[in-house]
Every structure is written in structure tokens, then in C-alpha cells.
């Protein structure tokens, strides 16, 4: 553990509430990044949060699968997919016989560009968020704005009653929104978009912030198991962003500049929407998506990931300096967490004689369907397999007069025969699972009866469905579920705890600090050690 540096003196206001709450979700941030790169961080970003704020060192995600949409929803609802409904980025709808995207909404239209990228809303999330509760607490005087490159990273945190949610459109490089929030973009957003800052960012090649010899915490730069940025043919520094033309807007999220761009836009939202200036607490929900794009492509042990966090550290420092100037240190409350963490790249594990690998769910489903047809005479017995769940074609089995429970048991038995499958259990037989209690609880919390499959399964640690390049997340294991959870600013007492805390504790803790109601589906607990209030 690094030594604590001397805390910067702050002026804590006597005001009853903070002027602004800034929630920061870093997409795909592992908890260990706080300390792995600590010695290379400056003093104004991560170090300031750790030294002046309160860190929950053993913060975990209490459900699985650990995917982006579920994570953002859980942070802000204080709830779990079984209750709030967002059980993954996608899930299968048996009635419509199609995959559903978490924030899709065909009843609204895109605002800010043409196409369907803005046909999104929080419709599929069943509970309120802490941002909704803040608005409800003062008859909607508080302003709430969500900002992220990813639509789901903006929409779900902002909640149902938000004043605005903005996300990035990869075809045009512009910030857009939905008619759910407004009929037209504000003029300040149009002016920001007109600057075409993405083109400016992409004119500069991505080289390491420090001499590459300093990155001795990472693997060598050139590894065959890394995946190139779209539009680029190599995986090594410098990344020739300036050579990209038609791909520049769609490739931009794979660069650290996308994080800076997000913070730039957030500062403009503060200025133009006059957040924190009305006498009530406002809320800005920021999600940094570029870390996820970069992490998926290069893996957690890459120079690219290390460099992106050193740059993110500078961005955070710039944000806090700006907020100090704008509101005064101690007059705003911020928290930083992640929607999930990430697994090591399987080829990296193999390189170092560690267990791990990939498997093809498509191959498993294909073989299972063949065996189901031979046994029961029904084709396409499995409709879909996602979120570590299997969806059976129950309507066809019922039409054929087959016992669905018998079919489920047959598929469970087949899955258990697969070398990487540790356990499989049908939804109706949760009680018979041999999973240890922590795993079993995570499966129950992540399973939504209306949107979930018929069978759940778990696999060996270190393995996931995917290719031999890059990496992913989604499992219950600590490498996917151990996340940072740091509170900083207004009424936060410096310190840390190693007791077990959960992602779901963030919303009720913020609600308690603001003296407002917790969200409607909240199951989290208040982290009482954080506050300096007596």
C-alpha cells in the first residue's frame, strides 16, 4: 500500500447541502488500478481522491453477469437486476422472439442527428435512481444531466426524470440525445458539436505520455493477443490516429482523447446549464467509456491501458481543479466507481502458466440443439444463450406436448458434461444448486424472472466466451466484480475501510448524505464511515 501523501487543505463550507454531486463511473476499471499505477499518478487526480476522500477497498458487485448496463443501473438505483430489470446490455425476449437492447425505445426519436442512435430512453429500467429521488425531493428544482460516450452509460444513471442525457454518435462525432428529453439540442450543444473537436483530437497520434521504458508494470508493447483499434493495422505505439479518415469518428472512443472530450463536454454542461447555481443540489452523472473500448482491445496488462489511466488521472485532476475554482473545495460531492472490472487476456494467462482460456457458446448451443432434436423432436430447442443463461423454446415444446421441466433437466445434464462448466441449474431448481452461497446469491440477484432464461450456468475461473484476442468481462469472479468505490469532497471524512461493501451501497449512501429518500428498489446499505457529519 502506498504511503499517504500530505492532504491538500480544503475549505469546507457550512452550507447544508453540496452545490453539485458529480458521479463518475469509469467503464471497466479494476480496483487494483488505483494502486498498481499509483506511483506514476500525479497528486491532483486519483491520489487526491484516495488521500482526501474515503475509499471502500473491498467494494464488490453483488450480482452477475457483470456487464455495463447492469452496472450503471445498479450504481444509481442501489438495486440489482432481479429488481430494477436491467439484467445485461441485452436480453432475449421470448414473446417477441428477439434480443432486446437495454435502453431501446421505439416510441422516441433521435435528436441531434439522423438515424436510430437516439431512439433510446430509460423505459426498460423499472425503479427510480438516486438522481430521480433528488429531483423528487424538492419538487424537481434540482437539475440532473447524464453524459457518456455510450448511450447506456448516460441514460441509466440520469434516471427517468432527468433534464437531459447526452451520448456520442459514432458516425458524426457529435453529442446527441432523444426526444424523451427534449425536442431539439440546446444551442450550447450545437455550438460544441460545430467545433468538430473529435477531428482535432484525431489529428494527433497516440503516443505514450511518459517514455515507454517507464511502463514496466505492463507487458511488452507488441503482443499477438492484442486487438488493433478499428482502422489501424498494428497494435503498437505510436497509434497513427492521424492517418484515419473515414474511421476517425467511430475509432475515437478507442483512444484516451475520448475521456478528455467527455470531461470537456461535462464542464460545458456545468457552465451553460448553471449547475450548482440555483441554491439546490444539482447532479452531473459522468461515465468514461473509452477505458472499456481500450481495455477490451488490449487487455489489462497492456501499455495502452496503463497509459490511458495515467491520462485519465490528469483529466480527473483538471476536473477537480475546475470544480474547486467554480464552487470552492468542499462544496461539491463526488464519487468514483466502475460498472465492472475485467478478466486477464487468456493468452496472457497461458503465457505465464496461469489457468484460463476461451470457449464458443455458439458451438455448445449447436451441439445441444442437435441432441434436443434427437431426444424430443423439436428443432431450435435453445433460442438464445446470453448473460450465462439459456433460453429454451418453451412454446414449441409445449405445442409438441413435451414436458418443459424434463427438457430443462436434459439441457442441464448436457451442460454439466462440458469441460468448462462447473454448475448448471434450471430456474425452478435454484434450491438444488451446489454453488457456494456467495456465487448463488450473485446468480439470484442477477436473474430477472420476466427477462431471464430457463437455465443458468457457471464456468471455471479465467475462462470466458470470446476470441483469442483482447478480453472481456461478465463473470462473478473478483477480477470482474472487484471495483473502486471512492467518495470525495463535501462532508466526506478521509479514510478507508476493508470491510465488504457493495456497488449497491453507493445510491443509499449518497441519498443519506443528501437527506433524501433512497431509490424505489434500493437494497444497499449506507456506508456510515464516510461522512463527517455527526
Catalytic residues: 68
pLDDT at 16: 86
CB 307 within 8 A of CB 295: no
Which residues touch 339 (CB under 8 Å, ≥6 apart)?
Answer: 25, 27, 28, 67, 68, 70, 71, 72, 75, 153, 287, 483
CB 458 within 8 A of CB 447: no
pLDDT at 437: 87
Rg, Å, the chain Cα set: 23
pLDDT at 429: 82
Residue written as grid cell 487526491: 48
pLDDT tens digit at each of 534 positions of the chain: 444 444 444 444 445 899 999 999 999 999 999 999 999 999 999 999 999 999 999 999 999 999 999 999 999 999 999 999 999 999 999 889 999 999 999 999 999 999 999 999 999 999 999 999 999 999 999 999 999 999 999 999 999 999 999 999 999 999 999 999 999 999 999 999 999 999 999 999 999 999 999 999 999 999 999 999 999 999 999 999 999 988 999 999 999 999 999 999 999 999 999 999 999 999 999 999 999 999 999 999 999 999 999 999 999 999 999 999 999 999 999 999 999 999 999 999 999 999 999 999 999 999 999 999 999 999 999 999 999 999 999 999 999 999 999 999 999 999 999 999 999 999 878 777 788 888 999 999 999 999 999 999 999 999 999 888 999 999 999 999 999 999 999 999 999 999 999 999 999 999 999 999 999 999 999 999 998 654
C-alpha cell at 262: 467527455
DSSP structure string for 432-484? G--S-HHHHHHHHHH--TTT--SEEEEE-TTEEES-SSS----SSSHHHHEE-
Spans of all domains in the chain: 20-347+476-514, 357-460
- Bridge partner residues of 421 (DSSP): 459
Q: HEC profile for 165-234?
A: EEEEECCCCEEEEECCCCCCCCHHHHHHHHCCHHHHHHCCCECCCCCHHHCCCCCCCCCCCCCCCCCCCC
pLDDT at 41: 98
Whole-number Cα distances in Å, 415 to 104, 287, 329, 473: 32, 37, 55, 21
Whole-number Cα distances in Å, 15 to 327, 511, 527: 12, 17, 22
List the one residue out of 350, 387, 359, 342 whose CA is nearest residue 460: 359
pLDDT at 497: 98
User: What is the spatial distance between Cα 89 and Cα 290, in angstroms, rounded to a whole number?
Assistant: 17
CA 311 to chain centre: 19
Domain 357-460 adopts which CATH fold? Gyrase A; domain 2 (3.30.1360)
pLDDT at 532: 60
pLDDT at 6: 41
User: What is the spatial distance between Cα 433 and Cα 440, in angstroms, rounded to a whole number?
Assistant: 8
pTM: 0.95
User: Has domain 20-347+476-514 been given CATH number 3.40.50.300?
Assistant: no
pLDDT at 161: 98
pLDDT at 246: 86
Which residues touch 358 (CB under 8 Å, ≥6 apart)?
Answer: 346, 463, 464, 465, 466, 467, 468
- Biggest CA pair distance of the chain: 73
Amino acid at each position: 500500500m502506498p504511503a499517504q501523501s500530505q492532504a491538500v487543505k480544503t475549505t469546507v463550507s457550512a452550507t447544508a447541502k453540496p452545490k453539485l454531486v458529480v458521479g463518475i463511473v469509469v467503464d471497466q476499471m479494476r480496483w487494483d488500478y488505483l494502486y498498481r499505477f499509483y506511483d506514476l499518478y500525479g497528486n491532483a487526480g486519483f491520489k487526491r481522491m484516495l488521500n482526501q476522500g474515503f475509499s471502500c477497498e473491498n467494494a464488490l458487485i453483488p450480482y452477475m453477469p457483470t456487464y455495463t448496463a447492469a452496472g450503471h443501473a445498479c450504481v444509481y438505483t442501489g438495486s440489482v437486476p432481479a429488481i430494477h430489470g436491467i439484467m445485461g446490455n441485452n436480453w432475449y425476449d421470448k414473446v417477441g422472439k428477439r434480443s432486446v437492447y437495454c435502453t431501446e425505445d421505439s416510441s422516441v426519436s433521435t435528436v441531434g442527428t439522423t438515424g436510430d442512435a437516439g431512439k433510446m430512453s430509460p423505459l426498460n429500467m423499472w425503479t427510480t435512481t438516486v438522481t430521480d429521488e433528488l429531483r423528487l425531493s424538492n419538487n424537481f428544482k434540482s437539475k440532473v444531466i447524464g453524459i457518456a460516450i455510450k448511450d447506456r452509460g448516460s441514460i441509466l444513471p440520469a434516471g427517468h426524470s432527468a433534464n437531459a442525457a447526452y451520448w456520442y454518435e459514432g458516425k458524426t462525432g457529435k453529442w446527441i440525445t432523444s426526444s424523451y428529453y427534449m425536442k431539439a439540442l440546446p444551442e450550447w450543444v450545437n455550438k460544441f458539436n460545430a467545433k468538430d473537436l473529435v477531428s482535432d483530437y484525431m489529428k494527433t497520434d497516440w503516443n505514450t505520455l511518459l517514455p515507454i521504458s517507464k511502463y514496466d508494470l505492463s507487458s511488452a508493447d507488441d503482443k499477438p493477443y492484442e486487438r488493433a483499434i478499428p482502422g489501424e493495422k498494428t497494435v503498437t505505439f505510436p497509434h497513427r490516429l492521424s492517418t484515419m479518415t473515414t474511421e476517425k469518428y467511430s475509432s475515437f472512443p478507442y483512444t484516451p482523447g475520448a475521456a478528455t472530450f467527455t470531461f470537456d463536454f461535462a464542464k460545458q454542461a456545468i457552465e451553460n446549464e448553471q449547475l450548482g447555481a440555483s441554491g439546490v443540489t444539482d447532479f452531473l452523472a459522468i461515465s468514461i467509456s473509452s477505458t472499456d473500448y481500450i481495455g477490451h482491445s488490449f487487455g489489462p496488462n497492456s501499455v495502452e491501458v496503463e497509459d490511458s489511466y495515467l491520462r485519465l488521472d490528469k483529466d480527473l485532476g483538471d476536473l477537480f481543479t475546475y470544480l474547486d475554482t467554480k464552487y470552492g473545495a468542499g462544496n461539491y460531492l463526488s464519487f468514483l466507481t466502475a460498472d465492472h472490472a475485467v478478466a486477464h487476456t487468456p493468452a496472457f494467462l497461458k503465457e505465464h502458466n496461469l489457468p484460463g482460456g476461451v470457449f464458443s457458446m455458439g458451438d455448445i448451443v449447436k451441439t445441444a440443439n442437435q441432441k434436443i432434436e434427437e431426444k424430443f423432436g423439436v428443432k431450435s430447442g435453445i433460442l438464445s444463450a446470453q448473460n450465462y443463461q439459456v433460453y429454451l423454446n418453451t412454446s414449441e415444446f409445449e405445442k409438441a406436448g413435451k414436458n418443459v421441466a424434463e427438457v430443462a433437466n436434459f439441457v442441464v445434464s448436457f451442460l454439466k458434461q462440458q469441460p468448462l462448466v462447473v454448475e448448471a441449474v434450471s430456474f425452478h431448481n435454484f434450491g438444488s444448486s451446489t454453488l457456494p452461497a456467495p456465487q448463488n446469491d450473485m446468480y439470484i440477484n442477477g436473474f430477472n424472472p420476466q427477462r431471464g432464461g430457463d437455465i443458468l450456468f457457471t464456468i471455471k475461473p479465467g475462462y470466458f466466451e470470446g476470441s483469442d484476442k483482447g478480453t472481456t468481462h461478465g463473470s462473478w469472479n473478483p477480477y470482474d466484480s472487484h471495483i473502486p468505490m471512492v467518495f470525495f469532497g463535501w462532508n466526506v471524512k478521509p479514510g478507508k475501510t476493508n470491510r465488504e461493501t457493495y456497488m449497491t451501497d453507493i445510491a443509499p449512501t449518497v441519498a443519506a448524505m443528501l437527506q433524501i429518500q433512497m431509490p424505489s428498489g434500493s437494497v444497499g446499505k449506507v456506508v456510515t464511515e464516510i461522512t463527517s457529519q455527526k
